[in-house]
Chain A
Amino acid sequence: MPPRYARHVSAHPDRTVDWPQVRLHVVTGKGGTGKSTVAAALALALASSGRNVLLCEVEGRQGIARMFDTDPLPYEERRITKGAPDQDGRAGQVHALHIDPESALLEYLAMYYKLGRAGKALDRFGVIDFATTVAPGVRDVLLTGKVYEAVQRPRASGRGREAITYDAVVLDAPPTGRISQFLGVNSEVAGLAKVGPIKTQADKVMALLRSAHTAVHLVTILEEMPVQETSDGIAELRSAGLPVGGVVVNLVRPQALGASALAQVHDDEVDPTAVASDLKRAQVDVDQALVTSLLDEARDHAVRRRLEDEQRDLVATEGVPIYELPRLAGGIDHGALVELAQLLRRQGMA
């Protein structure tokens, strides 16, 4: 089977993208499947043609700083890199923000209550810790509230030094198991805090999250558990009224063999003498053992590809756009992220 990239490809200048209206891209998925990597690649992909993009992380892990090889990020928007260039070579800027609930709460309190020194006292009594780690939902409203602020920030009026406005915000979100709670917190918060500023805040955030300006994308790999979790996640998001975006299938094995070659290898139908003579022609020092080894390795691969194909078919039944990213043998560095970004652009995700 050819890679599915082709489906979305459309030539410049009438390139179509799948999420033209979306300003907030939330990236979730099972742990370790590549959420942070995909979120970074998507931010790079969106930041072309002079557009500004903000990449946010909320889990206190400094994953962005590590991926882009910079110092740990503060609670402050920082420009970290240029985006992926478009067909005319024009890039945009990628900024990053590390949102921690303590800073978000202090900022929030300062905004609404002009707390001054009392803010410090709260910290000393452990209130900040209490409110951000224990009170269910409050922590999440603070985190999503900050993201909301970045998405809805009014355009610069041209007077004085103003905060940058963004064409898109990408959120490296908690894993699928916690995503509805993270985004749908409002019901929970609303239950606990029936009135007051937190409730108002939660309602505003929810209106954005449920709007056509948001898409929640799910990252998966082609294995049973992650695919199952993806399908459960999609169902859960839908029933919570949250807009499901696409599925990014990550860490796909190399597609070096086409469908028929793969079947031949799998069923042991390849003629070893033909392979041996090919190898000789390519000036490889060939013996029987080498041919056997290569075919054995390829059979391992074919077995795994079959399993991947079964999972891919399951993903396809979800009826959402699917994007595929290869497993890059050299691991992830800046160059690799740009490469993944270009692949996402080519498939129309950005």
Chain B
Amino acid sequence: MTARRRPGPPVLDVDALLDDRGTEIIVCCGSGGVGKTTTSAALALRAAERGRKVVVLTIDPARRLAQSMGIEQLDNTPRPVTGVDPAAGGSLDAMMLDMKRTFDEVVEGQASPEKAKQILENPFYIALSSSFAGTQEYMAMEKLGQLHREALTDGTYDLIVVDTPPSRSALDFLDAPERLSSFLDGRLIRLLVAPARGPARLMTAGLSVVTSALGKILGGQMLRDVQTFVTALDTLFGSFRQRAEKTFALLQADGTAFVVVAAPEPDALREAAYFVDRLTDDDMPLAGLVVNRASPPARTDLSAEAAITAAERLRAGDSSSLTAGLLQLHADRVRIVEREQHLRERFAASHPQVPSAVAAAMASDVHDLEGLRAIGTSLAEQR
């Protein structure tokens, strides 16, 4: 479906992916700084202008990008983006994730008002909901689940594009929700709750070692906060896990397509390779790889060596020769492009089945619809 037939590694056909009505969710993932936010916004815009009713859930857009999409204020609901071409009948809404707010809403939606208040005011909850490694990933999934349910019931959207948090590893997005929910109903938490309501026989020797050590490390007050929090949240544990499992299943469904984003750099491509392998292991539907910010190809096939030799000849006569400068720039460009090409080929050799598309590096940051459009075009027009 998404791979055009041609010799060599398969090409990711972005337009076919976006036009396919069977595509309901696109998740852009990859390691930090590679352009996930940019790519997800560019894909969403292109889909909208090709006739889809799209919402894009961004996590951490650059300030100016957020401004130009009209989502700089965080209110956790999608807003229409202005400037989108409606000719094909599509539309684009966008929102920026407010992690804490989303967490608060889950609590409010699940617990009685008094209980919710008790939880929301607990210092440990405040810390957890704003700084637990993984909360952002969990809440991104939670929000995705919400948007998807809404889209199903009232038909506002037929495509959801999701950006993922700037984790150090792309895998965090898949692992973090599990970590948070298994933390929340894990053994330690159970033990901590036990004394507050439980049979004394649970106070085993093991437990007292544990609580006294925790008390020493964290201090008694904090331990009490944790216990109050856990007790208050107790009724919610089951639903936390259930919700995480549901969203996970949604990610495995046929209507979902993962787009792995990488920069043409060894680390980013290594991360991308891990992620691709993991998606395959977990039966997650992989659409392909986007190599973002590829250096522009050279415009002439003069080799780097020939250019350097010629530049040296000219500099021997005139140390400030402008032509020598031109040749040196060309050599540098050829080397970088060759290196990127080599890295991409290495990825393709180990993952021959993964379709890929390259997005050119723009001269400057991408912070408006025009820039996003240019990336979309660059992605769709693979030579």
Instruction: Knowing A134-B132, A297-B333 are in contact, say whether A304-B222 is a contact too (CB < 8 A).
Output: no
Within 8 A of B (CB), among A45-83: 59, 61, 66
State whether B221 touches A122 (Cβ < 8 A): no
For B210, the chain A residues whose CB sits under 8 A away are 121-122, 125, 127
Q: Which one of B32, B298, B309, B329 contacts A256 once the chains associate, using CB atoms below 8 Å?
A: B329
Task: State whether B314 touches A282 (Cβ < 8 A).
Answer: yes
Please indicate the chain B residues that have their CB under 8 angstroms from the CB of A289 in the complex: 300
- Knowing A133-B133, A293-B300, the reply to whether A197 touches B216 (Cβ < 8 A) is yes
A135 CA to B215 CA, complexed, in Å: 12
Let me know if B300 and A194 touch, CB within 8 A: no
Please, which residues of chain B bring their CB within 8 A of the CB of A208?
none
A196 with B335, Cβ < 8 A, contacts A122-B209, A278-B314, A282-B313 known: no
The answer to whether A279 touches B323 (Cβ under 8 A) is yes
Pairs A–B under 8 Å by Cβ, sample size 28: A61-B168, A109-B217, A118-B209, A121-B209, A131-B218, A134-B128, A138-B217, A138-B218, A193-B219, A196-B217, A197-B216, A223-B364, A225-B365, A256-B324, A256-B325, A281-B313, A281-B314, A282-B309, A282-B310, A282-B323, A283-B313, A284-B302, A284-B310, A290-B302, A294-B329, A297-B330, A300-B296, A304-B363
Q: Which of A272-306 contact B (CB under 8 A)?
A: 274-275, 278-279, 281-284, 289-290, 293-298, 300-301, 303-304
Contact partners of A135 in chain B: CB under 8 A = 127, 217-218, 222
Is B320 an interface residue when CB atoms closer than 8 A count as contact? yes
CA separation between A33 and B336, bound complex, in Å? 17
Q: Which of A134, A197, A304 has the most CB of B within 10 A?
A: A134
Tell me how far the C-beta of A135 lies from the nearest C-beta in chain B, rounded to whole angstroms: 5
Chain B residues near A196 (CB, 8 Å)? 216-217, 219
How far, in Å, is A258 (CB) from chain B's closest CB?
7
Question: Which stretch, B16-24, B149-157, B185-193, touches the partner chain A?
Answer: B185-193
Question: Which B residues fall within an 8 A CB radius of A?
Answer: 32-34, 62-64, 123, 127-128, 131-133, 166, 168, 179, 183, 186-188, 191, 206-207, 209-210, 213-214, 216-219, 221-222, 263, 266-268, 296, 298-300, 302, 306, 309-311, 313-314, 317, 320-330, 332-333, 335-336, 339, 363-365, 367
A residues 206-250 in Cβ contact with B at 8 Å:
223-225, 228
Task: For the complex, give the distance between the alpha carbons of A292 and B323 in Å.
Answer: 12
- CB <8 Å contact, B299 and A296: yes
Q: How far is the CB of A276 from chain B (nearest CB, A)?
A: 9
Interface string of A169-196 (1 = CB under 8 A from B): 0000001000001000000000011111
For the complex, give the distance between the alpha carbons of A329 and B298 in Å.
Answer: 14
CA A105 to CA B214, docked complex, whole Å: 12
CB 8 Å contact bits of A105-118 with B (1 = contact, 0 = none): 10001000101001
Contact between B327 and A294, CB atoms less than 8 A apart: yes
Contacts of B217 in A (CB 8 A): 105, 109, 131, 135, 138, 193, 196, 198
Binding site for B on A (CB under 8 A): 30-33, 59, 61, 66, 105, 109, 113, 115, 118, 121-122, 125-127, 129-131, 133-136, 138, 175, 181, 192-199, 223-225, 228, 254, 256-258, 261, 264-265, 270, 274-275, 278-279, 281-284, 289-290, 293-298, 300-301, 303-304, 307, 327, 329-331
Task: Choose one: B123, B218, B263, B322; the contact of A270 (CB below 8 Å).
Answer: B322
**What 10 A-B pairs are tightest by C-beta distance, nearest first?**
A32-B33, A193-B219, A278-B323, A293-B300, A282-B310, A293-B299, A329-B335, A31-B32, A256-B328, A257-B325
Q: A125-B191, A257-B325, A296-B299 are in contact. Are A224 and B62 (CB under 8 A)?
A: yes
User: Which of A193, A281, A290 is within 8 Å of B218, CB to CB?
Assistant: A193
Taking CB atoms, residues of chain B closer than 8 Å to A224 are 62, 64, 364-365, 367
Residue of A nearest to B268 (CB): A32
Q: How far is the CB of B213 from chain A (nearest CB, A)?
A: 6
Instruction: Determine if B219 and A294 form an interchain contact, defined as CB atoms under 8 angstroms apart.
Output: no
Q: Given A193-B219, A196-B219, A224-B62: A279 and B333 within 8 A (CB)?
A: no
Q: Which residues on B sit within 8 Å (CB–CB) of A192?
A: 123, 127, 218-219, 221-222
For A297, give its contact among B123, B214, B298, B365 (CB under 8 Å): B298
Contact A131 B310 (CB under 8 A): no
Q: Closest CB-CB distance, A156 to chain B, in whole Å?
A: 31
Residues of A within 8 A of B335 (CB): 329-330
Complex Cα spacing A118 to B133, Å: 27
Residue of B nearest to A296 (CB): B299
> Which residues of B are found within 8 Å of A126, using beta-carbon distances?
186-188
Q: Do the beta carbons of B187 and A125 come within 8 Å of each other?
A: yes
Q: How far is the CB of A198 from chain B (nearest CB, A)?
A: 6
User: A196-B219, A293-B299 in contact; A307/B333 too (CB < 8 A)?
Assistant: no
Residues of A within 8 A of B63 (CB): 228
In the bound complex, residues from chain B placing their C-beta under 8 Å from that of A295 are: 326
Q: Assess the B329–A254 pair: CB atoms within 8 A.
A: yes
Q: In this complex, what residue of A is CB-closest to B34?
A: A32
Contact residues in A for B302 (Cβ distance below 8 Å)? 284, 290
Give bound CA distance, A274 to B263, whole Å.
38
If the complex has contacts A32-B32, A109-B213, A194-B219, are A298 and B323 also in contact, measured as CB distance less than 8 A? no
CA distance A192 to B127 in the complex (A): 10
CB pair B325 A261 closer than 8 Å: yes
Is A279 a contact partner of B329 (Cβ separation < 8 A)? no
